[in-house]
Amino acid sequence: MATNKKPRVADLKLDANEPSLLFAMQQMLSTGGVDFKEWWEHWEEGYNERDDKKSNFKIKEWRKVGERPAYIEITPSRKNGGVKSIEYIPNKKNPKVSFMCSGTDAQIINQIVQIEHFQIAAGVDCLSGKNSKPPLKGFPLIKLTFYQSYDDTKKRADGTRKSPTRGIKYIRMPGFTDDQSVVDFGLAQLIKPGDVSKWAKGILNTFALPDLYKWDKGKNVISYTGVIARLQGLEGWAYCTNENEGKKLFAAMLTAVGKKVDPLGFNFSGNTEPAKKFAPGKPTKKLLGQEWDADEFRPTDTVIFSRADLWLPKVGSSIPLVQGTALMYKN
């Protein structure tokens, strides 16, 4: 029966032409096959040779002079495990905000890109030229769905009823995440069952009890914007019949997740001749032997709260919170 022999030191010795090959292999492993310094030159400058017309990120905004990123090499001289460690500073003007990155050069590059990405999602520093406000995409999302009562739906030319008018509103939850890597970078806290339960109960008590919430959709528009609105995860707009109706809707959404309204965040607008601009479409000809009604643009209808669901981006699934007057999520 064959036995495994313990290797001898002599067996591990390299021929005269092999040390350079071993060194090359070690370099390949420690760098991941990339040139970090060359990459950094482009990253620090913001790839200013690119076509600004095709890019969301404008060099004058994304890499302002004096606010460009920096890094400090902090790799221990001994016992570094064959990896490099740096302290990454996204903005030179704010050196107190820094992140530890460690690994091969390729892994560190990936970590830096993730830091920049999650800073955008959290609303820090980097701005897009096409949309000057960084997106909140990436944080958990609460979806509120409203439907018009079937008995209130309008009739078509043939006497059948149209589909009920629907209303949908979204609430982002900045500061929470279902992505452990975001937590590891200290950019948000991991979402817990207690958090979800709290939101579900808040929505139930605000939109379902004692009666289902009614939202009067109309031809006017109210928006809720500003720094506070963004940090609350509720910057957006809604169609409404009047200003008070719109303010009431946003106030209810904020109350449901334990936040309060910024009274200076509202803007209200409406067309000067809504009856003409948003006149309901009328059948003008027959198609396939019958008359057809065009859908009404910005219908004035009352929609009633139907359900609330929580979307987790990383997990890629939806969790029912409330349906009608029933609490669906029970911790």
Question: What is the pLDDT, as a whole number, of residue 291?
Answer: 62
* Residue bearing the bigger pLDDT, 299 or 127: 299
**Where in the chain are the domains?**
20-122, 141-327
Mean pLDDT of 184-204: 93
Q: What is the CA radius of gyration of the chain?
A: 29
151 by Cβ neighbours in 10 Å (0-12 / 13-18 / 19+) ranks as: exposed
First to last CA, the chain: 60
Q: What is the dihedral of CA 95, 97, 100, 104, to 10 degrees?
A: -70
Question: What is the pLDDT, as a whole number, of residue 227?
Answer: 85
DSSP string, 12-67: GPPPTTSHHHHHHHHHHHHHTT--HHHHHHHHHHT-TTS-TTT-SS-HHHHT-TT-
Q: Is the pLDDT of residue 187 over 90?
A: no
Question: What is the pLDDT, as a whole number, of residue 124?
Answer: 40
Q: Do residues 135 and 120 make contact, with C-beta atoms less than 8 angstroms apart?
A: yes
Question: What is the pLDDT, as a whole number, of residue 190?
Answer: 94
Question: What is the pLDDT, as a whole number, of residue 122?
Answer: 42
- Which helix (H) or strand (E) element contains residue 180? helix 180-184
pLDDT in tens, 203-259: 999 999 999 999 999 989 999 988 899 889 998 899 999 999 999 999 999 999 999
pLDDT in tens, 45-83: 877 766 666 666 666 666 776 778 889 888 766 555 567
Question: What is the pLDDT, as a whole number, of residue 77?
Answer: 61
d(CA 287, CA 265): 47
Average pLDDT over the chain, rounded to an integer: 79
* Residue bearing the bigger pLDDT, 33 or 205: 205
* Residue bearing the bigger pLDDT, 257 or 314: 257
In this prediction the pTM is 0.59
Question: What is the pLDDT, as a whole number, of residue 277?
Answer: 67
Question: What is the pLDDT, as a whole number, of residue 312?
Answer: 92
d(CA 331, CA 201): 11
